[in-house]
């Protein structure tokens, strides 16, 4: 009887996401004695075949509000639960996004509440995270500064497309994050899928915001491709790589497997982009000087940032100093930064960059020199002769390394 009565109040606008796993409800909040509350909304929150149901919301009013939601389980309502602001997304004033807990218990109705009147419609989103097939959670940590073993895009989601109109960037700073929430599930591939849906469907971005994510077992997940500008660093994302440690490290630190994977990934990114991990340098968009390996909260120091945050957590952030030292102590890292094979007088020019269908490589020393183009996985994909326009139309979109024998002399972006 109670469910029939509640159903009469159920709402009526539902829109499916690209994954057909998320439903979006446009909700109107009505003034009551408990604040501004929606009618109960019917939802088939069965958990069969799911790891969890992810909760998020957004509205188009530029002001943020204290939002809450609750769920109906069999014969009772849960307590009201907070919808927390996603601080990384406060970059336009056009959409304010929120995220809630991962729901792991079946429910049949939900309600939303605000203590203040929301001036626009509230869009409430529920993402059904299908249970993952299981990943190989062990990998050999060689600490050779090569790209570590990763779970690539197809590994964690075959239906989550990469941004097809990316902004390319040349990283100078490596930014470490924590996810801060969503700790109710250890199906980490499903959590990464939820982040993709959260960032695309709720935040309105073109792709997942991070370039990399690392789970508690040390599995590394590929987000936006290397060299693609992410959305993670308080609206000053240019020239950064964003690495998210999955978990809330406000009062605890990441497990050792996760920290080990982070060290190896930082070593790879630092050597690929010739970033000195022990130095501080100028970040152009932020117009300030920060450590080349920084935490998200370091962006608080920039007057050009759009938000403040405690990320990557009060317990984890102090460990970054030790992590910088651990990366710098790796023999492979020292080999790269002590190399004198490429002399400072040797200048290589790559034009145009980004490239479309052709590219020209020239240097100031040797005419008609042969250069090699490598994909980021180390595969040789093409050889070019300097000082000539060369066809690169067969290359897929992404970042490529240009080498002269064993020496890295530059990078370019293929559109």
Helix/strand/coil for 164:
coil
Where exactly does CATH 2.60.120 map onto the chain? 2-130
Q: pLDDT by residue (tens digit) across 220-259?
A: 999 999 889 999 998 899 999 999 999 999 999 999 999 9
The number of angstroms, rounded, from the C-alpha of 249 to the middle of its chain's C-alpha atoms is 17
CB-based burial, 158-171: b 16+ in 10 Å, e otherwise: eebebbeebbbbeb
Beta strands in 253-379 (DSSP E): 280-283, 288-291, 293-295, 348-351, 358-363, 370-375
Cis preceding linkage at 174, omega within 30 = no
- pLDDT of residue 11 exceeding 50: no
Order of strands across the sheet that contains 240-245: 220-222, 212-214, 240-245, 173-178, 293-295
Where exactly does CATH 3.40.80.10 map onto the chain? 153-337
Placement of tokens 């290589």 in the chain:
348
332 phi, psi to nearest 5 deg: -65, -35
Where exactly does CATH 2.60.40 map onto the chain? 348-414
CATH class of 153-337: alpha beta
Query: What is the structure's pLDDT at 124?
Result: 96
Query: What is the structure's pLDDT at 6?
Result: 36
Q: Which residue has the higher pLDDT, 158 or 353?
A: 158
Q: pLDDT by residue (tens digit) across 160-203?
A: 999 988 899 999 999 999 999 888 899 999 999 999 999 999 99
Query: What is the structure's pLDDT at 197?
Result: 95
Within 65-205, residue ranges assigned H as helices are 153-156, 188-197
Q: Candidates 3.30.870, 2.60.120, 2.60.40, 1.10.3470; correct CATH number of 2-130?
A: 2.60.120
Q: pLDDT by residue (tens digit) across 286-312?
A: 999 999 999 999 999 999 988 889 999
Give residues with Cβ within 8 angstroms of 2, minimum separation 6: 75
97 phi, psi to nearest 5 deg: -105, 150
Q: pLDDT by residue (tens digit) across 80-104?
A: 999 998 866 555 557 899 999 999 9
Rounded to an integer, the average pLDDT of 50-71 is: 92
* Residue among 88, 218, 229 nearest 170 (CA): 229
The token pair at 262 is: 């982070």
Q: What is the CATH number of domain 348-414?
A: 2.60.40
Dihedral, 293, 296, 300, 301 alpha carbons, nearest 10: 0
């Amino acid at each position: 009887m109670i469910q029939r009565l509640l159903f009469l109040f159920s709402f009526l606008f539902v829109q499916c996401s690209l994954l057909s796993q998320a439903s979006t409800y446009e909700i109107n909040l009505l003034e009551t004695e408990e604040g501004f509350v929606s009618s109960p909304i019917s939802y088939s929150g069965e958990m069969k075949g799911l790891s969890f149901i992810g909760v998020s919301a957004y509205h188009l009013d530029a002001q943020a509000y204290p939002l809450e939601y609750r769920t109906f389980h069999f014969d009772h309502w849960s307590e009201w639960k907070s919808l927390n602001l996603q601080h990384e997304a406060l970059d336009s004033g056009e959409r304010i996004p929120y995220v809630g807990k991962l729901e792991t218990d079946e429910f049949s109705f939900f309600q939303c509440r605000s203590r203040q009147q929301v001036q626009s419609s509230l869009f409430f989103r529920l993402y059904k995270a299908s249970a993952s097939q299981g990943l190989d959670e062990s990998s050999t940590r060689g600490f050779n500064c090569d790209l570590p073993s990763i779970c690539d895009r197809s590994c964690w989601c075959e239906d989550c497309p990469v941004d097809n109109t990316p902004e390319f960037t040349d990283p100078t700073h490596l930014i470490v994050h924590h996810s801060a929430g969503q700790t109710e599930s250890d199906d980490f591939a499903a959590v990464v899928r939820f982040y993709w849906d959260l960032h695309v469907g709720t935040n309105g971005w073109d792709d997942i915001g991070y370039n990399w994510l690392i789970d508690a077992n040390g599995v590394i997940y590929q987000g936006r491709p290397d060299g693609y500008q992410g959305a993670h660093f308080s609206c000053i994302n240019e020239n950064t790589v964003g690495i998210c440690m999955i978990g809330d490290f406000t009062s605890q630190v990441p497990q050792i497997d996760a920290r080990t994977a982070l060290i190896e990934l930082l070593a790879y990114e630092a050597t690929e982009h010739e970033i000195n991990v022990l130095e501080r340098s100028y970040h152009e968009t932020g117009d300030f000087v920060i450590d080349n390996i920084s935490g998200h909260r370091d962006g608080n120091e920039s007057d050009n940032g759009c938000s403040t945050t405690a990320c990557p957590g009060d317990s984890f952030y102090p460990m970054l100093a030790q992590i910088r030292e651990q990366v710098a102590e790796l023999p492979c890292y020292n080999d790269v930064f002590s190399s004198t094979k490429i002399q400072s007088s040797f200048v290589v020019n790559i034009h145009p960059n980004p490239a479309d269908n052709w590219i020209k490589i020239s240097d100031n020393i040797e005419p008609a020199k042969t250069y090699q183009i490598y994909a980021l996985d180390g595969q040789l994909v093409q050889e070019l002769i300097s000082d000539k326009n060369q066809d690169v139309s067969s290359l897929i979109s992404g970042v490529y390394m240009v080498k002269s024998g064993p020496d890295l002399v530059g990078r370019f972006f293929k559109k």
